[in-house]
Structure 1
Amino acid sequence: MEHAKPLPTYLVQRYHGWKATTWEENRSWYRRLAEEGQRPRAMVISCCDSRVHVTSIFGADQGEFFIHRNVANLVPPYEPDGEPHGTSAALEFAVTALKVAHVIIVGHSYCGGVKGCHDMCSGTAPALEEKTSFVGRWMDILRPGYERIKDLPEGERLTALEKQAVLVSLENLMTFPFVRSAVEAGEISLHGLWNDIGEGGLEQFDPASGRFVAI
């Protein structure tokens, strides 16, 4: 692997700082996690966006969340077609092996993936329509959400589509037999959140009203 390079110096320095402080102060906890294994209570599916940090939002420690990140925090529908499915594999492991009690979808404002879906579906991003576009084919998952919001005023569409990314994912979760059976048995609960990264706001989907409401 001649193309691999040593870490940048600033990351090496940060690692040594973490090892000397955070790790040293919690040495016994880290060793317990290593020896006893993980027992997270919740799985969080959030966006790859570097501005979204769910452990900070909830003040979570190591071992609390099983976290999966992808572009636009999307869950694809259940499709056991033999192709690699990273999100589906993470979901299967969390629900069937780790026995998490909650699956939480976290969307956010100013999501680049969602904007790409909006532009692609509205015809202004032809490059994403190409079969060779990994981003475009991934964002096809959100096309049903775009159809629901496409007639809204222009200034409202992106935020509405960000929230549709959460709702489409919640809907797709229920297409997985192991998720549906766990939900119907009362063994797991599903949650949809939207984070306003500029204001620090957090909204949750309220099924009774069909709207996102502030927490």
Structure 2
Amino acid sequence: MTMLPEKLLTGYRTFMAQRYANETMRYRQLAEQGQTPETLVIACCDSRAAPEIIFDTSPGEIFVIRNVANLVPPYEPDGEYHATSAALEFAVQSLKVKNIVVLGHGRCGGIKAALDTESKPLSPGDFIGKWMSLVAPAAEAVAANELMTPFERQTALERISIRYSLRNLRSFPCVDILEKKGRLTLHGAWFDISTGELWVMNPETGDFLRPDPELVDLQPGQ
């Protein structure tokens, strides 16, 4: 009987022989002293857009929340189950992160589903449909623009959803208070899977710009 898919077992053996062997002391320190990441990344669960790979981080450097379409729901202390809100609360209140990055990406399946008004639920629960209804007003407005190509609509909503999540982050009292005190900074970014380009949101204008190769400043791009 196979305990895990062979691909995963092979990957684990490589991890132990290479990365863990090279960073044994770091893993032991993290186990003994706990984690102290300075940045929370809220990303999509898409297998092609892993934050740890995109930002080339070491263990313990970033705290990651992943869900469909990297969405942050509004603050709703209603006694229901809120996985994203719970992880956000832990990162801000317990880990005391200094930065929050909402990381969107190109060709997002969740965003595509939000734009497809004729798509049928994948199950009776329609969990994806309910989740993506968070951006339904924006999706309807973008989908109605006949002058845009399907690719342009997709990219537009992917970036709008990042701004939406940033707005909802500020509806959480702990985030809003710390940001106003200068102890927490919010960022938006969008990753193009096909080219590897990272576009960063200008906090003042909301425009997405491409950093130069040295990441010194932001240069407008098309």
Q: How does 1:1-215 map to 2 (within 5 A)?
A: 6-119=3-116, 123-127=117-121, 132-152=125-145, 153-155=147-149, 156-215=152-211
Which runs of no fewer than 5 residues in structure 1 stay unpaired?
A: none
Residue 127 of structure 1 aligns to a residue whose secondary structure is coil
Which runs of no fewer than 5 residues in structure 2 stay unpaired?
A: 212-222
Could you tell me whether the CA contact under 8 Å between 2:74 and 2:171 is conserved in 1? Answer: yes
Q: Cα deviations across residues 23-44 of structure 1 (Å, max 9, x unaligned)?
A: 1121111100100100001000
Rounded to whole Å, the distance in 1 between the matches of 2:61 and 2:170 is 24
Alpha-carbon deviation of 1:69?
A: 0.4
- Equivalent pairs counted in the alignment come to 208
Could you tell me whether the CA contact under 8 Å between 2:71 and 2:162 is conserved in 1? Answer: yes
Could you tell me whether the CA contact under 8 Å between 1:144 and 1:168 is conserved in 2? Answer: no
RMSD (CA atoms):
1.8
Task: Determine what percentage of the aligned residue pairs are the same residue.
Answer: 44
Q: What TM-score comes out, normalization by structure 1 length?
A: 0.91
Alpha-carbon deviation of 1:131?
A: 7.1
Name the aligned partner's letter for residue 85 of structure 1: H
Residue 187 of structure 2 aligns to a residue whose secondary structure is strand
Name the aligned partner's letter for residue 71 of structure 1: V
Q: What TM-score comes out, normalization by structure 2 length?
A: 0.88
Stretch deviating more after TM superposition (200-209 or 74-83): 200-209
Structure whose residues are more often helix by fraction: 1
